[in-house]
Structure 1
Amino acid sequence: MAIGSGLGAQLGIAAESTYGTFVAPTKFIEFTKESLVLKKTTAQSAGVAAGRLVALSSRRVVTRREASGSIDLEIANKGMGLLLQALMGTTVTPTQQAATTAYMQTHLLASVAGKSLTIQKGVPLTTGTVTDKSFVGCKVTSGEFSCEVGGMLTGSFEFDGKDCDEAQTLAAASYSNMSPFHFGQMALKTGAYGTETALDGIRKVSVKFERPQDVERFYANQSALKKEPIENDQVKISGTLETDYVATILDDLHTSDGATSLVWEFTGPIIASTYAETFRITLPAIRLDEGPPTVDGFGVVKPTFNFTGLYDGTNLPKIEYMSTDVTL
């Protein structure tokens, strides 16, 4: 029997082979907050009937069902592959490094067609009984990563889902021994692609990937459920760099509207040989939109630069993830 509060909750995920078809969870993620919910649209008959003062309960119908919500979590050294794949789109098989227990995942930006998840959450009643809510057809519509002085690397994923199925068996959660990436492991580099160098004065970084999709594909013959969303706009990549004004590199880029490659990475303990736990975002071209320094008092000048991630014509944005995970 679980604890009858959020202490007894769980989240399990699995990649779907067919959009909206339940797959029993294979990975269990440690999360800080979630808001996945069923959304339904109803219609109420309002026909005139002599003497009837209140609409009939039997004449209310559900005309469409869908799901939506988000998951917030700390980005850990294991178990993040399925979420990264659903966000970035590339089908990834972890690549063993030499003959070690280290495996690299390279998530290049690609179409998210066919990339959907089953997300099963267990919600405890106060009695300790954990109820099942299995969300199927979950497509990632955005993912944002952030880390600041003294903090953990966090992620927030937004989802659009096909339906909520409450008739499944709640999987027994199991967790590997995971550690979060954090500010003490963080590095930020800018410069020409492939030869970026460390940038001083960085206090906080955030990067957001938005995957616009048509989530309104409700048709006849679908039993009030949607078909798989289709991408309907270009990927939006944006972010912020909160800094102390220790150099003019970013300021000059803002003034000239010049492009630079950005590498944001976290390097953890060595897994084996020279291979360390790694989380790395590479944006081959960013341009700064806002953030020229201003003086608002006696303290250190602290400009915040907002940027847009773009395509340099050759190299795709990517997320690299080194862990001991043999599979996603």
Structure 2
Amino acid sequence: MAIGSGLGGQLGIVAESSYGTFTAPTRFLEFSKESLVLKKTTEQSAGVANGRLLALAARRVLTQQDVTGSIDLEVVNSGMGMLLAALMGSAGTPVQQAATAAYLQTHTLADTAGKSLVIQKGVPLTSGTVTDKSFLGCKVTSAEFSCESGGMLKSSWEFNGRACDEGQTLAAASYPSRIPFHFAQMAVKLGSFGSETAHDGVRKMNVKIERPLALDRYYAGQQGLKKEPISNGLVKISGTIETDYTSTTLDDLHTSDGSTSLVWEFIGPNIASTYDQTFRIVLPAIKIDEAPPQIDGFEVVKPSYSFSGLFDGTNLPAIHYMSTDTAV
């Protein structure tokens, strides 16, 4: 029996072979909070009937189902590939580095067609019995990564799904040893694509990637369930760099509206040879939107630069993930 509180909860995920089809989870996330819920659309018949003062329960019908919610978790040194693939759209197939235990996943921005997850949530009753809620057809609609001075690299994932199945067997959770990336491993680099150099003075950083999807694909003959959402807008990439005012580099880019390549990376312990545990976001072109430096009393000037990630015409944004994982 599990503990009858959030201490006994679990989240398992697996990539779907076809949209909305249950497969037992094979990977389990260590998360800080989640808000996945089934949302339903109902209609109530309310025809006039002599003497009836209340609508009949039997004439309320369920017409559509939807799943929404988010998961917050730290970015760790293994087991993140499945989520990254669902966000970025490309396969990210691990490539062995030389003859070592290091494998590099390169998740380049692509369409997310066919990239959906089963997310199985185990919710404990106070008795310790853990109930199953299996969310099918879960598509990533956005993900935000953030890290501040002295903190962990954190992420927040937004999902939209097709349905909730409460009739499955709850998978037995297992948790391999995983270590989070953190501020002491962080570097922010700017410059020409492929030759970026470290930018000094960064205190805090976040990047958000949003995937616009047509979430209203409810058709006749689908029993009130949606077809797989498809891309229906340009990907939006945005973020903020909070710094001490150590140089005019970002300030000058704001003034000129020039672009620069941005690399935000975390380099962890060595795996083998020259290959280290790595989480890296590469944005080949960003533009600074606002927040030139301002003096606010005696303190060190601390500008916060918001930016937009754009296409440089050649190189696509990507997330690099180096770990010992041999599969996404």
- Common fold by TM > 0.5: yes
Report the Cα distance in structure 2 between the residues aligned to 1:310 and 1:226, rounded to whole angstroms: 31
- 1:253 counterpart SS class: helix
Do structure 1's residue 64 and structure 2's residue 64 form an aligned pair? yes
By how many angstroms is 1:242 displaced?
Answer: 0.5
**Structure 2 Cα separation of the partners of residues 200 and 291 of structure 1:** 18
1:146 Cα offset (Å): 0.3
Matched residue SS, 1:84: helix
Tell me, yes or no, if structure 1 residue 190 matches structure 2 residue 190: yes
2-structure distance, mates of 1:291, 1:104: 36
Structure 1 runs of 4+ aligned residues shifted over 2 Å read none
Matching of residue 230 in structure 1 with residue 205 in structure 2: no
Structure 2 match to 1:206: 206
For residue 78 of structure 2, what is the aligned residue in structure 1? 78
TM-score (norm: length of structure 1): 0.99
Establish whether residue 136 from structure 1 lines up as the match of residue 136 from structure 2.
yes
Counterparts of 1:274 and 1:129, CA distance in 2: 47
| Secondary structure in structure 2 of the residue aligned to 1:285 | strand
Match of 2:105 in 1: 105
Matched, 1:293 2:289: no
Quick one: distance in 1 between partners of 2:280 and 2:262?
A: 10
Q: Distance in 1 between matches of 2:117 and 2:92?
A: 15
What CA deviation, in whole Å up to 9, does each residue of 1:214-273 have, x standing for no partner?
000001100010000010001000000001111100000000000000000000000111
Whole-angstrom CA distance in 2 between matches of 1:150 and 1:282: 23
Q: 1:39, 1:248 → 2: CA distance?
A: 49
Alignment-mate amino acid for residue 108 of structure 1: T
Query: 1:301, 1:104 → 2: CA distance?
Result: 39
CA–CA distance in structure 1, aligned partners of residues 167 and 58 of structure 2: 24
Give aligned-pair identity as a percent. Answer: 71
TM-score by length of 2: 0.99
Counterpart of 2:159? 159
The question of 1:176 aligning with 2:176 is answered yes
Partner of 1:242: 242
| Equivalent residue letter for 1:213 | L
| Structure 2 unaligned blocks of 5 or more | none
Moved more, 289-298 or 313-322: 289-298
2:52 and 2:225 map into 1 onto residues whose CA distance is 33
Which residue in 2 is equivalent to 1:123?
123
Which amino acid is the alignment partner of residue 41 of structure 2?
Answer: T
Counterpart of 1:314 in structure 2: which amino acid? T
Residue 312 of structure 1: how far off its partner (Å): 0.4
Cα distance in 1 between the residues matched to 2:186 and 2:13: 28
CA apart distance, 1:14? 0.2
In the TM superposition, what is the alpha-carbon distance from 1:121 to its structure 2 partner? 0.7
5+ long unaligned stretches in structure 1:
none
Question: What are the Cα deviations for residues 150-191 of structure 1, in whole angstroms up to 9, with x where unaligned?
Answer: 100001110000000011110000010000000000000000
Instruction: Work out whether 1:303 is the aligned partner of 2:303.
Output: yes
In the alignment of these two chains, the number of paired residues is 328
Q: CA RMSD for the aligned pairs?
A: 0.5
* Cross-structure match for 2:96: 96
Distance in structure 2 (CA, Å) of the matches to 1:283 and 1:74: 21
Alpha-carbon separation, structure 2, partners of 1:145 and 1:286: 16
CA displacement at 1:92 relative to structure 2: 2.1
